[in-house]
Amino acid sequence: MQVRRLEITGAFEFTPKSFPDHRGLFVAPFQGEVFAEATGHPLQVAQTNHSVSARNVIRGVHFADVPPGQAKYVYCPRGALLDVVVDLRTGSPTFGRWEAVRLDSTEFRAVYIAEGLGHAFAALTDDTVMSYLCSTPYNPAAEHGIDPLDPELALPWDELDGEPVLSEKDRDAPSLAEARAQGLLPDHESCLAHYERLRRTP
């Protein structure tokens, strides 16, 4: 498996090797030993999520309070999507920046999004499936969102071939500036301290 550390601290891209033959294909999108070597800690999986999206659906930008936050390891077992990691940690040198990775059922790349980072994606095909390994269970009281169409973020939705389709909750989410003013965003130093605790946990 190939590993690429993204420019935003706490985000990684993993590209597994696939094994096609006359029967079909085998691939292991998540490999615990490789993950732990790359990040410095194992991934504790408390919940798995599975979403199906029509073409042009955007989900996110979602994040959770830190601590404990919610880290995600995501991949696309069917279809194709544009996965976006956004640095929402106030005080971070890359605050407000984003990185995008295409995930699909051809190469089975995966992205790890550490606690405190924002996550969004756009489905590029109908019936696109996203699989998530989550470090903590869903906690509605600690979950937040940023408007994925916020002009300040300028996320790369130009790859869509139609009007974006959003949930009412995502469409009504605050802008980055509004969320910062409301004190909703994670603190960079607190997130780094959390990552260090993860590395120290046996």
22, 41, 50, 62: which one is catalytic?
Answer: 62
Q: Name residue 154's beta-bridge partners.
A: none
Q: Which helix (H) or strand (E) holds 2?
A: strand 2-5
Whether 62 is catalytic is yes
3-state class of 82 per DSSP? strand
Strand locations in the chain, DSSP E? 2-5, 11-15, 18-21, 24-27, 47-53, 58-64, 72-78, 80-87, 98-104, 110-113, 117-123, 128-134, 143-145
Token reading at 61: 């930008």
Given 22, 73, 119, 132, the catalytic residue = 132
User: Any catalytic annotation for residue 195?
Assistant: no
Q: Are 98 and 85 in contact (CB under 8 A)?
A: yes
Catalytic residue list: 62, 132
